Structure 1
Amino acid sequence: MIAGRVARSRRAVAGPALLALVFALVFGGPLVAPWSWDDTDFAAFGEGPSARHWLGTTPSGRDVLALTLRGARKSLLIGVPAALIATALAAVAGTVAGYAGGRLDATLMWGTDLLLVLPSFLVVAVLAPRLPGGAPVLVPLLAAFMWMLTARTVRAMTISLRRREHVLAARYLGVSAPRVIVRHVLPQLASLLAVDASLNVGVAITAESGLSYLGLGVRPPDVSLGTLIAEGQAAGAWTFGAAAGTLAAIVLAVNLVGDGLRDVLDPARGGR
C-alpha cells in the first residue's frame, strides 16, 4: 500500500533520489577529486574550468570543486543534527505538555511562546560570535530556536490522543505516563515528526549558511556554503555559482523529501 503511494507521488521518488545524489557527491566526491579543499595550485590563480580544475580556481589558487564539496559537507553535518535535535525537542515538549496538562502544560507553553516571540536569527547572530565557532556550538544553537511551532502542534494532537480509548485504558491500568507517551502517543505522531525533521534540515542549512555568510557561523580556515557564497561575491562567478547552486540543490532535495513523506504518510492528500 505504501509502495503504491510512493509510486504515485513524483516528489516521493524525486526527493530521495536527488538527496542520495547530493550525499554521494558531497561525501564520496572528495575521495576521487584530484584536489583537496586546502590545497593551493600556485600555477592557477582565479582560472575558469579546465581539465586540471573542473570548476576553476579561486584568486588564491584553491580548487572550487573541492571547496564546494567541503562546504556542503560542513553545512550538512550542521543542518542534519540540528534538525533532528529540534524535532526531538518538539516531540518531548509537546507530548509532555499535552499529556500532563495543568501547571506543567502552562509552564512549558509559556516558555515556548516566549521563545516564539524572540527574533531567533538575531538572537543566534548575537550569541554565535561570543561562543567558540564550529559545528559543536552551531548545532545546539540552531536547534534551540527551531522546535517551538512543531511543539505546539504536537501538544494539540497529544491532547486529542489522550482521550482515545486505548490511551484511557492504559492509564486506568496504571501504566506510567512516560510509557504511555512512548508506546501509544508518539507512534501516532511519527508521520508528522518525520516530515518536520526533513523540512527542518533545509531550514537549518539555510540558517547556518546565512550566519556563515555574515561571518558569524563557520570560521576560517574551515569553509561552509555560506562562507563560499560570501567569498564568491568578490572572488568570481564560479565560486559563487558552485556554492549557491549546491545550497539550492540541497534545500530542494530535502523539501521534496518532506513533501514526498507527507504524500505517502497522509493518504488524504494523494500522490502528485
Structure 2
Amino acid sequence: MTAVVRALGRNRRATAGAVLLALLFALAFAGPAVSPWGWEDTDFTAFRRPPSADHWFGTTQSGRDVFALTLRGMQKSLVIGLLVAVLSTGLAALVGMVSGFVGGWTDRMLMWGVDLLLVLPAFLVVAVLSPLLRDGRPLVLVAVLSAFLWMVTARVVRAMTISLKEREYVLAARFTGASTPRVLARHILPHLASLLAVDASLNVSVAVIAESGLSYFGFGVRPPDTSLGTVIADGGSAATAYPWLAGFAAGLLVLIVLAVNLLGDGLRDALDPTSGRAR
C-alpha cells in the first residue's frame, strides 16, 4: 500500500485528479454551509438574475438559488456515481472470478446470465422501472445502473482468472487445501487490482453521466429533489439567453468526469507493476 501511495504521488495526473476530486467533494458537501441560500429557498425578488453577491450562480426563473441547487445536485450525482462504481465493479469481480475459477456448469450459467443482460436494452428497463423513482428512491436507480455496467468487465476478469488459476502458486495453494474463497482473495484478486481500479474509476464517470442523462430525460432523480441532470434540464431551454441556469452544472459535471479519469489513470499506473508510466 505504501508503494502504491508513493507511485500515486509521483504521477502528476493522479495527483491532479485526486486534488480536483477532493476539491469537488469539499465544494459539494461544505459549500452549502457557507451559502446564504438553501436549495429549497425561493427569492421572490430575484427571477433569472445573473450571478451577483447575493446569488453567486444567479437564480432560476422561479427565484431559486442556482448555486445551492447545483451543489445539491452534485452531492446526489457524486454519491450515486460512487455507489454504482463500487457495486458494479464488485459484482464484475465476483462473477468473473467464480466463473473462471470454478468452471463447469457454474461457468456456463453465469456467462449465460451475462449474455442475457448484455442484450437487454438498459434505457427501456430504466423507463419501465421509472415509476419506482417517483417516491424518491435513488437506491433503485443505483441498482439499475449497477446491473448494466459490470458484464463486459466480468468477461475480462473471467478470462484473466482462467489464465491465473494455472499458475504454480495457485496450484500449490489448492494442493495444500486452501479453500476457493481464500485462493481467490489471496492469489487471484491482487493480480486483478489494476484492472478493477481502472474499471471502478471509469464506472464512476459512466454512472455520473448516465444518472445526469436519465435525470435530464425525467427517468432519474425527480423533483422536488435535484441532481446535475435536473439542473441542466431545467435551465437548458433558456441556456442561450441565461447561460448560468445550466452552465455551472454542466461545467461541474465535466470536472467530475475529468478528475475521476485522471485518478483512474494514475491508479492503473501505480497498481500495474509492468507499467512504465508510474513515475
TM-score, scaled relative to structure 2: 0.92
1:202 aligns with 2:205: yes
- Inter-partner Cα distance in structure 2 for 1:66 and 1:4: 37
Equivalence for 2:275: 268
Q: Among 211, 223, 228, which residue is 2:226 paired with?
A: 223
Q: CA deviation at 1:117?
A: 2.1
Q: CA deviation at 1:269?
A: 4.1
Equivalence for 2:159: 156
Instruction: Please tell me the residue identity of whatever aligns with 2:245.
Output: T
Q: Is the 8 A contact 2:17 2:261 kept in 1?
A: yes
Q: Is the 8 A contact 2:69 2:226 kept in 1?
A: yes
- Inter-partner Cα distance in structure 2 for 1:183 and 1:260: 24
Equivalence for 1:129: 131
User: Residue 156 of structure 1 aligns to a residue in which SS?
Assistant: helix
Q: Is the 8 A contact 1:134 1:219 kept in 2?
A: no
Q: CA deviation at 1:119?
A: 2.5
Instruction: Please tell me the residue identity of whatever aligns with 1:252.
Output: L
Equivalence for 1:178: 181
Offset from partner CA, 1:93-116 (integer Å, 9 cap, x none): 000000001111111111111211
- Inter-partner Cα distance in structure 2 for 1:187 and 1:42: 57
Q: CA RMSD in A?
A: 1.6
Q: CA deviation at 1:42?
A: 1.1
Equivalence for 2:54: 52
Q: Among 222, 238, 241, which residue is 2:244 paired with?
A: 238
Q: Is the 8 A contact 1:12 1:264 kept in 2?
A: no
1:249 aligns with 2:255: yes
Q: CA deviation at 1:121?
A: 2.9
Q: Is the 8 A contact 2:269 2:278 kept in 1?
A: yes
Offset from partner CA, 1:201-228 (integer Å, 9 cap, x none): 0100111111100011101100001111
Q: Is the 8 A contact 1:10 1:271 kept in 2?
A: no
Equivalence for 2:20: 18
Q: Is the 8 A contact 1:82 1:201 kept in 2?
A: yes
Equivalence for 1:63: 65
Q: CA deviation at 1:3?
A: 5.6
Instruction: Please tell me the residue identity of whatever aligns with 1:175.
Output: A
Q: CA deviation at 1:8?
A: 4.5
- Inter-partner Cα distance in structure 1 for 2:270 and 2:74: 28
Equivalence for 1:99: 101
- Inter-partner Cα distance in structure 2 for 1:190 and 1:263: 11
- Inter-partner Cα distance in structure 1 for 2:224 and 2:9: 45
User: Residue 84 of structure 1 aligns to a residue in which SS?
Assistant: helix
- Inter-partner Cα distance in structure 2 for 1:171 and 1:10: 41
Q: CA deviation at 1:263?
A: 2.1
153-162 vs 172-181, greater mean Cα deviation = 172-181
1:144 aligns with 2:147: yes
Residues 158 and 249 of structure 1: is their aligned pair in 2 closer, same or farther, counting only changes over 3 Å? same
Equivalence for 1:109: 111
- Inter-partner Cα distance in structure 2 for 1:130 and 1:17: 36
Q: CA deviation at 1:10?
A: 2.2
- Inter-partner Cα distance in structure 2 for 1:238 and 1:49: 7
Q: Among 10, 29, 40, which residue is 1:27 paired with?
A: 29
Q: Is the 8 A contact 1:93 1:151 kept in 2?
A: yes
Q: CA deviation at 1:118?
A: 2.2
Residues 166 and 117 of structure 1: is their aligned pair in 2 closer, same or farther, counting only changes over 3 Å? same
Q: Is the 8 A contact 2:21 2:260 kept in 1?
A: yes
Q: Among 54, 66, 73, which residue is 2:75 paired with?
A: 73
- Inter-partner Cα distance in structure 1 for 2:6 and 2:263: 17
Q: CA deviation at 1:161?
A: 1.1
Q: CA deviation at 1:7?
A: 4.8
Q: CA deviation at 1:122?
A: 3.2
User: Residue 51 of structure 2 aligns to a residue in which SS?
Assistant: coil
Report how many aligned residue pairs link the two structures. Answer: 272
Equivalence for 1:87: 89
* Percent of residue pairs identical: 65
1:37 aligns with 2:43: no
